[in-house]
Amino acid sequence: MILNLYKPHQGIKPHVDLLDRFDDLIIGISLGSSVIMDFENQIDPFQSERVYLQNRSCYILSNQVRFHWFHGIKSNQSFDYIYDPLEESVRKIQRSRTRISITIRRLKEGAEVIGDDFNRSSSSS
């Protein structure tokens, strides 16, 4: 499990979580500021999606999305968009809160060993 704090105007570059270290399922929990997560297909870069992550939302990456789509959050998102069900409208407000990202990933077997210890044990086999 990883806990990251993002101040307003901070994001994360598009990436695919390490294929040789982490299993198929990745779970993310987004707290604080709401953001838009962008997805881009590695095979067809013209295929992309945008997902709105509200405060207290959860997302799951698995199968094709886990392995073949980059995901990231642009650093220039300076506004939150808040849906008001009573007014049935969306309000735009200045982002002022820190976003907390909790990422849960399972290591593949043997992936917990890194560096020289891994190289020594695999060369002695």
Could you tell me the residue ranges of all domains in the chain?
2-123
Supply the Cα-derived Rg of the chain in whole angstroms: 18
Question: Could you give the residue ranges of the DSSP H alpha helices within 1-125?
Answer: 63-68, 116-123
pLDDT (tens digit per residue) in 11-21: 999 999 988 88
pLDDT (tens digit per residue) in 19-50: 888 888 999 999 998 888 999 999 998 999 99
* CATH number listed for the domain at residues 2-123: 2.60.120.1520
Distances in whole angstroms, Cα of residue 118 to Cα of each of 43, 55, 102, 114: 32, 40, 28, 5
Which residue matches tokens 């881009």?
40
pTM comes to 0.76
Cβ proximity of 67 and 73 under 8 Å? no
